[in-house]
Structure 1
Amino acid sequence: YPSSKVCSACGAIAEKMPLNIRSWTCSCGVTHDRDVNAAKNILAAGLAVSACGAGVRPQRGNLRSGRSAVKQETRRATTGIPVL
Protein backbone atom coordinates (compact mmCIF):
# COMPACT_ATOMS: atom_id res chain seq x y z
CA TYR A 1 0.00 0.00 0.00
CA PRO A 2 1.63 3.30 -1.09
CA SER A 3 0.66 5.11 2.12
CA SER A 4 3.17 7.93 1.78
CA LYS A 5 2.37 8.57 -1.91
CA VAL A 6 -1.43 8.86 -1.51
CA CYS A 7 -2.72 12.36 -0.73
CA SER A 8 -4.64 12.08 2.55
CA ALA A 9 -6.76 15.07 1.50
CA CYS A 10 -7.95 14.10 -2.00
CA GLY A 11 -6.74 10.53 -2.59
CA ALA A 12 -4.52 11.29 -5.59
CA ILE A 13 -1.52 8.98 -5.95
CA ALA A 14 1.90 10.47 -6.71
CA GLU A 15 3.59 8.65 -9.60
CA LYS A 16 7.20 8.50 -8.45
CA MET A 17 8.63 9.55 -5.13
CA PRO A 18 12.16 8.57 -4.10
CA LEU A 19 12.68 7.95 -0.39
CA ASN A 20 14.83 11.08 -0.04
CA ILE A 21 11.75 13.26 -0.72
CA ARG A 22 10.45 14.03 2.78
CA SER A 23 7.70 16.53 1.90
CA TRP A 24 5.62 17.03 -1.22
CA THR A 25 2.73 19.11 -2.53
CA CYS A 26 -0.24 17.41 -4.16
CA SER A 27 -1.94 18.82 -7.24
CA CYS A 28 -4.90 19.70 -4.95
CA GLY A 29 -2.60 22.18 -3.18
CA VAL A 30 -2.05 20.38 0.12
CA THR A 31 1.58 20.09 1.29
CA HIS A 32 2.41 16.86 3.11
CA ASP A 33 5.18 15.67 5.39
CA ARG A 34 5.72 12.19 4.00
CA ASP A 35 5.64 10.37 7.36
CA VAL A 36 2.63 12.27 8.74
CA ASN A 37 0.73 11.72 5.49
CA ALA A 38 1.51 7.99 5.60
CA ALA A 39 0.31 7.81 9.21
CA LYS A 40 -3.00 9.48 8.29
CA ASN A 41 -3.52 7.07 5.39
CA ILE A 42 -2.68 3.99 7.46
CA LEU A 43 -5.07 5.11 10.20
CA ALA A 44 -7.87 5.69 7.67
CA ALA A 45 -7.25 2.30 6.04
CA GLY A 46 -7.24 0.52 9.40
CA LEU A 47 -10.47 2.20 10.46
CA ALA A 48 -12.12 1.26 7.16
CA VAL A 49 -11.09 -2.37 7.56
CA SER A 50 -12.23 -2.61 11.18
CA ALA A 51 -15.51 -0.76 10.59
CA CYS A 52 -16.75 -2.42 7.43
CA GLY A 53 -14.21 -4.89 6.08
CA ALA A 54 -13.07 -2.64 3.25
CA GLY A 55 -9.85 -3.40 1.41
CA VAL A 56 -6.70 -1.43 2.17
CA ARG A 57 -5.53 -0.80 -1.37
CA PRO A 58 -6.80 2.32 -3.18
CA GLN A 59 -9.67 1.59 -5.54
CA ARG A 60 -9.08 2.01 -9.26
CA GLY A 61 -12.05 2.25 -11.56
CA ASN A 62 -15.24 0.57 -10.42
CA LEU A 63 -15.41 -1.44 -7.25
CA ARG A 64 -15.48 -5.16 -7.93
CA SER A 65 -18.50 -5.70 -5.75
CA GLY A 66 -20.22 -2.49 -6.80
CA ARG A 67 -20.37 -1.36 -3.18
CA SER A 68 -18.48 1.40 -1.47
CA ALA A 69 -16.65 1.09 1.84
CA VAL A 70 -19.65 2.00 3.99
CA LYS A 71 -22.00 -0.07 6.07
CA GLN A 72 -24.44 -1.87 3.80
CA GLU A 73 -27.95 -2.73 4.98
CA THR A 74 -29.33 -6.06 3.86
CA ARG A 75 -32.63 -6.11 2.03
CA ARG A 76 -34.21 -8.02 4.92
CA ALA A 77 -33.51 -5.10 7.25
CA THR A 78 -35.89 -2.86 5.32
CA THR A 79 -38.54 -5.44 4.36
CA GLY A 80 -42.00 -4.30 5.41
CA ILE A 81 -41.05 -0.66 5.95
CA PRO A 82 -43.29 1.56 3.79
CA VAL A 83 -41.53 3.86 1.34
CA LEU A 84 -42.65 7.46 1.74
Structure 2
Amino acid sequence: MADTRRDWQHKLSTSIIRDNQAVYVEDLCVIGLGRTRLAKSVHDAGLASFTGMLEYKAARYGRTFARVDRFFPSTRKCSTCARVNDKIALNVRAWDCPCGAAHDRDVNAAKNVKAAGQADFNDRGAQIRPASVPAPRGEAVTHPDAACSTRSVEGISAL
Protein backbone atom coordinates (compact mmCIF):
# COMPACT_ATOMS: atom_id res chain seq x y z
CA MET A 1 0.00 0.00 0.00
CA ALA A 2 2.78 2.45 0.93
CA ASP A 3 4.64 1.72 -2.33
CA THR A 4 1.50 2.45 -4.34
CA ARG A 5 1.00 5.75 -2.51
CA ARG A 6 4.64 6.75 -2.98
CA ASP A 7 4.46 5.91 -6.69
CA TRP A 8 1.31 8.02 -6.99
CA GLN A 9 3.01 10.92 -5.16
CA HIS A 10 5.99 10.76 -7.51
CA LYS A 11 3.78 10.81 -10.59
CA LEU A 12 1.60 13.64 -9.26
CA SER A 13 4.54 15.78 -8.10
CA THR A 14 6.30 15.33 -11.46
CA SER A 15 3.12 16.33 -13.28
CA ILE A 16 2.63 19.42 -11.09
CA ILE A 17 6.22 20.57 -11.55
CA ARG A 18 6.27 19.97 -15.32
CA ASP A 19 2.96 21.82 -15.82
CA ASN A 20 3.80 24.91 -13.72
CA GLN A 21 6.62 27.45 -13.73
CA ALA A 22 6.19 28.18 -10.01
CA VAL A 23 4.81 26.16 -7.12
CA TYR A 24 4.04 27.66 -3.72
CA VAL A 25 3.04 25.57 -0.71
CA GLU A 26 2.04 26.48 2.80
CA ASP A 27 4.60 25.23 5.30
CA LEU A 28 2.21 23.33 7.56
CA CYS A 29 3.29 21.93 10.90
CA VAL A 30 2.73 18.27 10.05
CA ILE A 31 3.81 17.15 13.52
CA GLY A 32 1.29 19.52 15.12
CA LEU A 33 -1.47 18.38 12.76
CA GLY A 34 -0.59 14.81 13.68
CA ARG A 35 -1.69 15.51 17.25
CA THR A 36 -5.21 16.54 16.25
CA ARG A 37 -8.25 14.49 15.36
CA LEU A 38 -7.07 14.73 11.74
CA ALA A 39 -3.89 12.78 12.54
CA LYS A 40 -4.71 9.68 10.51
CA SER A 41 -5.62 11.71 7.43
CA VAL A 42 -2.51 13.88 7.72
CA HIS A 43 -0.15 10.92 8.09
CA ASP A 44 -1.94 8.92 5.37
CA ALA A 45 -1.52 11.78 2.92
CA GLY A 46 2.25 11.90 3.44
CA LEU A 47 2.32 15.70 3.18
CA ALA A 48 5.92 16.11 4.29
CA SER A 49 7.29 13.63 1.75
CA PHE A 50 5.08 15.04 -1.01
CA THR A 51 6.27 18.63 -0.49
CA GLY A 52 9.84 17.32 -0.37
CA MET A 53 9.29 15.70 -3.76
CA LEU A 54 7.89 18.94 -5.14
CA GLU A 55 10.92 20.84 -3.86
CA TYR A 56 13.63 18.62 -5.31
CA LYS A 57 11.80 18.17 -8.61
CA ALA A 58 11.37 21.94 -8.93
CA ALA A 59 15.14 22.30 -8.56
CA ARG A 60 15.70 19.51 -11.10
CA TYR A 61 13.41 21.09 -13.72
CA GLY A 62 14.45 24.70 -13.02
CA ARG A 63 11.10 25.74 -11.57
CA THR A 64 10.40 28.17 -8.75
CA PHE A 65 9.43 26.60 -5.43
CA ALA A 66 8.69 28.42 -2.18
CA ARG A 67 7.13 27.65 1.16
CA VAL A 68 4.80 30.23 2.66
CA ASP A 69 5.23 30.73 6.41
CA ARG A 70 2.94 28.47 8.46
CA PHE A 71 1.74 31.42 10.55
CA PHE A 72 0.50 33.36 7.52
CA PRO A 73 -3.32 33.59 7.88
CA SER A 74 -4.08 32.23 4.41
CA THR A 75 -7.51 30.86 5.29
CA ARG A 76 -8.93 33.81 7.20
CA LYS A 77 -7.42 36.65 5.17
CA CYS A 78 -9.69 38.09 2.49
CA SER A 79 -8.02 37.68 -0.90
CA THR A 80 -9.95 40.70 -2.16
CA CYS A 81 -9.37 43.40 0.48
CA ALA A 82 -6.62 41.76 2.61
CA ARG A 83 -8.64 42.08 5.85
CA VAL A 84 -7.69 39.44 8.42
CA ASN A 85 -10.76 37.99 10.09
CA ASP A 86 -11.06 36.20 13.42
CA LYS A 87 -10.23 32.50 13.61
CA ILE A 88 -12.59 30.32 11.61
CA ALA A 89 -13.59 26.82 12.75
CA LEU A 90 -12.53 23.98 10.46
CA ASN A 91 -16.12 23.01 9.73
CA VAL A 92 -16.82 26.47 8.21
CA ARG A 93 -16.11 25.92 4.51
CA ALA A 94 -17.39 29.28 3.19
CA TRP A 95 -17.50 32.79 4.67
CA ASP A 96 -18.37 36.35 3.70
CA CYS A 97 -16.04 39.29 4.22
CA PRO A 98 -17.41 42.69 5.32
CA CYS A 99 -16.09 44.07 2.00
CA GLY A 100 -18.81 42.02 0.28
CA ALA A 101 -16.65 39.20 -1.09
CA ALA A 102 -17.92 35.63 -0.64
CA HIS A 103 -15.14 33.09 -0.13
CA ASP A 104 -14.75 29.36 -0.30
CA ARG A 105 -12.21 28.57 2.43
CA ASP A 106 -9.83 26.53 0.26
CA VAL A 107 -10.02 28.72 -2.86
CA ASN A 108 -9.38 31.84 -0.76
CA ALA A 109 -6.39 30.19 0.94
CA ALA A 110 -4.98 29.13 -2.45
CA LYS A 111 -5.22 32.71 -3.76
CA ASN A 112 -3.47 34.03 -0.65
CA VAL A 113 -0.70 31.41 -0.79
CA LYS A 114 -0.09 32.22 -4.47
CA ALA A 115 0.06 35.96 -3.72
CA ALA A 116 2.40 35.37 -0.78
CA GLY A 117 4.64 33.08 -2.79
CA GLN A 118 5.16 35.58 -5.58
CA ALA A 119 7.22 37.95 -3.41
CA ASP A 120 9.35 37.85 -0.26
CA PHE A 121 7.24 40.60 1.28
CA ASN A 122 4.26 41.36 -0.86
CA ASP A 123 1.51 43.93 -0.46
CA ARG A 124 -0.45 41.51 1.72
CA GLY A 125 2.39 41.35 4.27
CA ALA A 126 3.13 37.67 3.83
CA GLN A 127 6.61 36.30 4.38
CA ILE A 128 7.95 33.31 2.51
CA ARG A 129 10.92 31.17 3.27
CA PRO A 130 12.98 30.58 0.12
CA ALA A 131 13.57 26.99 -0.88
CA SER A 132 16.96 25.43 -0.31
CA VAL A 133 19.38 25.93 -3.17
CA PRO A 134 21.24 22.85 -4.38
CA ALA A 135 25.03 23.03 -4.38
CA PRO A 136 26.68 23.74 -7.73
CA ARG A 137 27.82 20.57 -9.46
CA GLY A 138 31.52 21.20 -8.76
CA GLU A 139 30.92 21.60 -5.03
CA ALA A 140 28.84 18.46 -4.66
CA VAL A 141 31.41 16.06 -6.12
CA THR A 142 32.98 13.46 -3.86
CA HIS A 143 36.68 13.01 -4.47
CA PRO A 144 37.66 9.44 -5.42
CA ASP A 145 40.26 9.15 -2.68
CA ALA A 146 37.96 10.54 0.04
CA ALA A 147 36.80 7.07 1.04
CA CYS A 148 40.37 5.88 1.58
CA SER A 149 41.24 8.12 4.50
CA THR A 150 44.30 7.18 6.49
CA ARG A 151 42.99 8.83 9.64
CA SER A 152 41.79 6.69 12.47
CA VAL A 153 40.00 7.20 15.71
CA GLU A 154 41.70 5.81 18.78
CA GLY A 155 41.26 2.05 18.65
CA ILE A 156 39.39 2.07 15.31
CA SER A 157 41.32 1.71 12.09
CA ALA A 158 40.07 3.63 9.06
CA LEU A 159 41.35 1.03 6.57
Per the shorter chain, which TM-score range? 0.5 to 0.7
- Within-5 A mapping of 1:1-84: 1-49=72-120, 54=121, 56-57=126-127
| Cα distance per residue 1:9-29 (max 9 Å; x no partner) | 000011121010000000000
More helix as a share of residues: 2
Q: Give the greater-gyration-radius structure (CA).
A: 2
Q: Give the TM-score, by structure 1 length.
A: 0.59
The whole-number CA distance in structure 2 between the counterparts of 1:2 and 1:21 is: 15
More strand as a share of residues: 2
| Identity among equivalent pairs (%) | 53
Q: Give the TM-score, by structure 2 length.
A: 0.32
The whole-number CA distance in structure 2 between the counterparts of 1:26 and 1:43 is: 19
**Unmatched 5+ residue regions in structure 2?**
1-71, 128-159
The whole-number CA distance in structure 2 between the counterparts of 1:26 and 1:10 is: 9
| Cα distance per residue 1:28-49 (max 9 Å; x no partner) | 0000000000000000000022
| Cα distance per residue 1:59-79 (max 9 Å; x no partner) | xxxxxxxxxxxxxxxxxxxxx
The whole-number CA distance in structure 2 between the counterparts of 1:38 and 1:31 is: 13
The whole-number CA distance in structure 1 between the counterparts of 2:119 and 2:94 is: 26
**Unmatched 5+ residue regions in structure 1?**
58-84
SS in 2 for 1:21: coil
How many correspondences in the alignment? 53
